[in-house]
Chain A
Amino acid sequence: MVRFLLSRVLVLIPTFIGVSIVAFAFIRLLPGDPVQMLAGERVVDPQRHAAIMHQLGFDRPLVMQYLSYLWNLLHGDFGTSIVTKRGVITEFFTLFPATLELSLCAIVIAVLLGVPAGVFAAVKRGSWFDQSVMGAALVGYSMPIFWWGLLLIILFSGILQWTPVSGRISLLYYFPQVTGFMLIDSLLSGQKGAFGSAVSHLILPSIVLATIPLAVIARQTRSAMLEVLGEDYVRTAKAKGLGRSRVVGVHALRNALIPVVTTIGLQVGVLMAGAILTETIFSWPGIGKWMVDSVFRRDYPVVQGGLLLIAMIIMVVNLAVDLLYGVINPRVRAR
């Protein structure tokens, strides 16, 4: 077990270096630089421009810039935002709870709806339920996420006026951040209506973000379930005289979940990518929106550091999924 964990952690090192190179190079490939972007439409005096670039260290050779960046990283220094002058780490962890709250809600929706939908579709294979679920999954998977988000905003916020258009909570409420999770903080604040407001703000972005993972999980569950339902041990369970719900819900589902858990783990990457679009559409103050804004500002340290931190989270989640594997699949459990 310790060896397994160690080997998996060792693999993270080259991945980490690779991601740092990509993040470093990617933002510099974009035309323009932070000073030009800060100046906006005003023309910057070339001398002043050069002076600021020198001051920020962006006039050095790229290799030198990268090596000193890497050196700072090894010391736990992710750099400072050019625009806000605050540490990248500080900004990240201020905004991360918002993204985490949104992502958790999305994955919970995706799993709670996707797994049962896939199971029933498999059990009732070929039925109208199966066909409509799989049709809906195909549509959900194929739909551009920003367009889907806009459609929902037009319907629920525009026409029906059921939900707010953007943000995390109504401006009427103000309370200190304790956990960073708006749902929890609003409850802790004890202010009347705060929790309801937080929920109504969260619901549309969660649905939008959950759409693709939901479609993928439903399809994966269905196909895993169909395979498992034909296995001999399912027949054995039936031969014991067990009820249908026990045969499907215990004997078949437990085996079908093995590939589904892998899929759920992989969806974390999709969630992070989706969060960037979703947060932008709904003005959700999380790291997705932060990354987009920083790219537009050419805030090199923030983009580099943010990408690296997001990549690390995805890697850690995938590691956790691998460990979870042993729990649900005794065949890979360490003896």
Chain B
Amino acid sequence: MPLLSLSNLAVTFDTASGPFKAVDGVDITVEAGEVLGIVGESGSGKSVAMLGLMGLLPPSATVTADEIAFEGRDMRAMSGRERRKIIGKDIAMIFQEPVASLNPCFTVGFQIKEALRAHTDLDRKGRHHRAVELLTAVGIPDPERRLSAFPHQMSGGMSQRVMIAMATACRPKLLIADEPTTALDVTIQAQILDLLIDLQKERGMGMILITHDMGVIAETAERVIVQYAGQQVERQRVATLFDAPHHPYTSALLAAIPERSTGRRLPTIPGVVPGQGDRPDGCLFNPRCPKADDLCRSVMPHRQTAGLGEALCHYPLNPLVV
């Protein structure tokens, strides 16, 4: 039984100019202790899908799915109260903007202990001990004193460490990290990523790592899902993805990694992810795809087989040689 199993997840926003499907047909399974990467540009619906799972979207969003199961339990059928016993305890999430994600009016200690109070039986003293333990685990020096610090007294990297401490407070089985390093300095990014991976290994957590950095995926994840305009365009093992991408979008993303580029200029993908108003017919990637033809411009592609990265493409790259 997988830890998390989502199938055909869709998120629709009710906007002034009509409904907008930001996420469509997303399937995700995560096994216990596994790291799953989700990559894609800004606007590809990576975060929205995960926020939908957590129930953190504004009321204008409608989340539908054929299955949302955590450890085999159907989360769709749960009441808000039952869901909240899982959210924050077994499934935790950290966000892109650590500084904005901490409440400026409360101390770090209050915010960490609050999570413990909601989900554990620890008494006041126990919570304090655990909070100190957590801050030590995420590499914050002088944790006793830091507990009484307010978020504005900390740097971005420190804030993200606190967020990680808070998210892992109740020993979650699944941690969703939504671009955890995007807002941080380059030097800090690697530290935070190492910390996440260490914690994940140490505790055997499942982890969904959302990023737009292919390099990060290469270092950390076992499987990767490439998402574009709300759709999963390719699902592959990381080991094979880098050598043999099957979707032209994946291939273009890989080509845009500075370390892999061979020419004098770094290749880019022309254009932007289509929004609400400019959705093309057929394959959503066709306006930016170098290989697109009339078929791509008129007919939505079917999903290819697992051997072809389950690519959502009429003409997958690197076909298997029979």
Contact = CB atoms under 8 A, between A and B. Distances in A.
Interface of A: 230-233, 235-244, 251, 254-255, 328-331
5 contacts: A233-B102, A233-B104, A241-B88, A329-B104, A330-B105
Among the interface residues A236, A238, A240, A251, which one has the most CB atoms of the partner chain B within 10 A? A240
Given A233-B104, A251-B103, A255-B103, A240 B97 contact: no
A331 B80 CA distance: 34
Given A232-B95, A330-B150, A242 B118 contact: yes
Interface string B77-109: 000110111111100110101001111111100
Given A241-B88, A244-B80, 4 more contacts: A240-B88, A241-B87, A330-B152, A331-B152
B114 interface: yes
Given A237-B103, A255-B104, A331-B104, A242 B152 contact: no
Given A233-B102, A328-B105, A330-B104, A239 B84 contact: no
A238 B81 CA distance: 12
A233 B92 CA distance: 14
Contacts of A231: 100
A242 B101 contact: no
A251 B166 CA distance: 15
Nearest to B99: A232
Nearest to A329: B105
Contacts of B93: 239
Nearest to B88: A241
A233 B84 contact: no
A239 B87 contact: yes
B277 to A, nearest CB: 23
B199 interface: no
Nearest to A126: B59
Given A231-B100, A233-B100, A330-B150, A239 B89 contact: no
**Chain A interface main SS type:** helix
Nearest to B89: A241
Contact of B101 (A230, A232, A241, A330): A232
A236 B119 CA distance: 15
B205 to A, nearest CB: 16
B92 A239 contact: yes
B115 interface: yes
Given A233-B104, A330-B105, A331-B104, A241 B95 contact: no
A240 B106 CA distance: 15
Contacts of B166: 236, 240
A236 B101 CA distance: 6
B92 A232 contact: no
B223 to A, nearest CB: 24
Which 8 A-B residue pairs are closest in the complex by CB-CB distance? A241-B88, A232-B100, A240-B88, A233-B103, A241-B84, A241-B87, A330-B150, A254-B105
B56 interface: yes
Contacts of B118: 240-242
A124 to B, nearest CB: 10
Contacts of B84: 241-243
B210 to A, nearest CB: 14
Among the interface residues A237, A239, A243, A329, which one has the most CB atoms of the partner chain B within 10 A? A239
Contacts of B85: 241
Interface string B283-298: 0000000000000000
